[in-house]
Amino acid sequence: MDSRKSVDPELIRKCQRGSPEAFDELYDSFGDAVWRICSRMAGNTADAEDLAQDVWITVWRQIGSFRCESAFYTWLYRVASNVCLQWLRRAGGKADLPIEESSCEASPGPEQQVIRQESLDRTESALMSLPEPLRLPLVLRVEEEMSYAEIAQVLDCTTSAVKMRICRARTALANALKEEEP
């Protein structure tokens, strides 16, 4: 299921009444999206798994506060963002590197694999070097393909603030990648 599709309000009400089956259905629909945010913010699988679990525990505990006035996924992304940002603040803004590459594409030759992995590592390193106020909007825009307005809802800021943060993030990312060029 596309994480942007609307969620049946009855499913939310069932979750709010404590239905584990309804909660499982939400998890099945949005688990991958939560994982992507957590992995990009944490930078390693172990911390990302812990963060994703914390997000779902928080969702279970706070689902009663969701009033169905906005899209469920924006509320969920806000919960995920807050959990990740709190973790980053406790960790001093440092995330580990690298995230394991998990795509299963056609196997390129050994040289292409090395070049591709080096490029991925440089990009990942540059992304993880971004400060959290720039990294999160960029991840939501690029990885989750959210609109500026949706990101503004998640981050509780203006659309122009989101645009500015993403522009700064892209500039910082490009500069970091230029500095790392061999």
pLDDT tens digit string along 71-105?
A: 898 899 889 988 988 888 787 655 544 444 444 44
As a whole number of angstroms, the distance between CA 179 and CA 171 comes to 12
Question: Dihedral of the CA atoms 136, 140, 143, 149 (nearest 10)?
Answer: -150
What is the share, in percent, of the chain residues with pLDDT greater than 90? 18
Residues 1 and 68 in one domain: yes
Read off the CATH number of the domain in which 13 is found.
1.10.1740.10
As a whole number of angstroms, the distance between CA 51 and CA 35 comes to 8
In a domain, 55, yes or no: yes
* 74 burial type by CB count under 10 A (0-12 exposed, 13-18 middle, 19+ buried): middle
In a domain, 182, yes or no: yes
In a domain, 178, yes or no: yes
Per the structure, how many domains does the chain have? 2
Give the type of residue at 81: S
Q: Which of 70, 96, 122 is the last residue of a domain?
A: 96
Both tokens of residue 54? 């914390």
Domain holding 139, by residue range, is: 107-182
Q: Which of 75, 96, 117 is the last residue of a domain?
A: 96
Give alpha helix (H) positions in the chain: 9-16, 20-42, 45-62, 72-90, 110-129, 132-142, 148-155, 159-180
pTM of the model: 0.62
Give the type of residue at 50: D
Confidence of residue 14 (pLDDT cuts 50, 70, 90): very high
